[in-house]
Amino acid sequence: MGGSIIVCKDVCVAYGRQEVLHNVNLEIPRGAFLPFIGCNGSGKTTLLRAILGLVPLRRGLIETPFDRAPAGYVPQHKVIDPLYPVSVRQIVEMGLYPRRRRFRRLDEEQRNASAAALEQLGLAEHAKKNFRELSGGMKQKTLIARALVSGSEVIVMDEPTSELDEQSENEVLSHLVELNAQRGITVLMVHHNRELVERFTHTMCRIQRGNAEIVSTGKGGGDNA
């Protein structure tokens, strides 16, 4: 299970004439828990979007496993705002859609996977609640559970704890660390608070002036890379 799961080779990304990423060479280990850190405008989100294939490369190559299984993308909870009542369980089961046969109901294995994800994220007792009525932290955990049931090797998040209070931030990050350690899922996330993520990992991807490198801070939580 070792080796690199994502490799960036001489990656350049530009918006118009402005080059945002310059010759990025990066090897992300399989099973890494890797926050992307850097100041505003450094290219953190651009690099994440490039890895997901959402922005074109001016030059270079990015190797990913997403031809086998798409990344489990976790948006900020404020992006998901259903216009009609939808339960926590239904949101989580949306992660199974790529694996379902068209117009077929969930089979027993899929229902069990959904129930297991709800249990692991501490959501089982909230499964029937309306998603819109949850706190920000509970909404974010619901979206992580949705990504978890997708079966992806990689979970990708852009500011997953944005606008959450400190307790909710710590709860969400703790669940992500647990998933990473127990299941070996690679976790990539853009985060604005370096001091906070240093409590959970001492390995980070530092982006500055359009360049990226994996660094060790020498402090913080465990390192699963």
How far, in Å, CA of 108 to CA of 187, rounded?
Answer: 28
| pLDDT for the residue numbered 1 | 47
Question: What does the pLDDT look like over 69-94, one tens digit per residue?
Answer: 788 888 777 667 666 789 999 999 98
3-state secondary structure of 12: strand
Task: State the CATH class of domain 1-71+154-217.
Answer: alpha beta
CA-based end-to-end distance of the chain = 11
- For the chain (length 225 residues), average pLDDT per consecutive 10? 88 94 96 94 93 95 90 77 81 78 71 91 94 89 90 89 83 90 94 90 94 83 55
Which runs of consecutive H residues, i.e. helices, occur in 6-127? Answer: 44-51, 88-93, 108-120
The answer to whether the CB of 137 falls within 8 A of the CB of 122 is no
Where in the chain are the domains? Answer: 1-71+154-217, 78-151
Question: What is the gyration radius of the CA atoms in the chain, in angstroms?
Answer: 18
Question: What does the pLDDT look like over 168-201, one tens digit per residue?
Answer: 888 889 989 998 999 899 999 999 888 999 999 9
| pLDDT for the residue numbered 222 | 57
| pLDDT for the residue numbered 129 | 96
Would you put residue 184 in left (φ > 0), alpha (ψ -120 to 50) or beta?
left
DSSP letters, 77-104, are: GGG---SS--BHHHHHHGGGGGGSPTTP
Strands 59-63 and 4-15, by their bridges, are antiparallel
| pLDDT for the residue numbered 43 | 93
- Beta-bridged to residue 7, according to DSSP, are 27, 63
How far, in Å, CA of 31 to CA of 29, rounded?
Answer: 6
3-state secondary structure of 180: helix
How far, in Å, CA of 146 to CA of 114, rounded?
Answer: 8
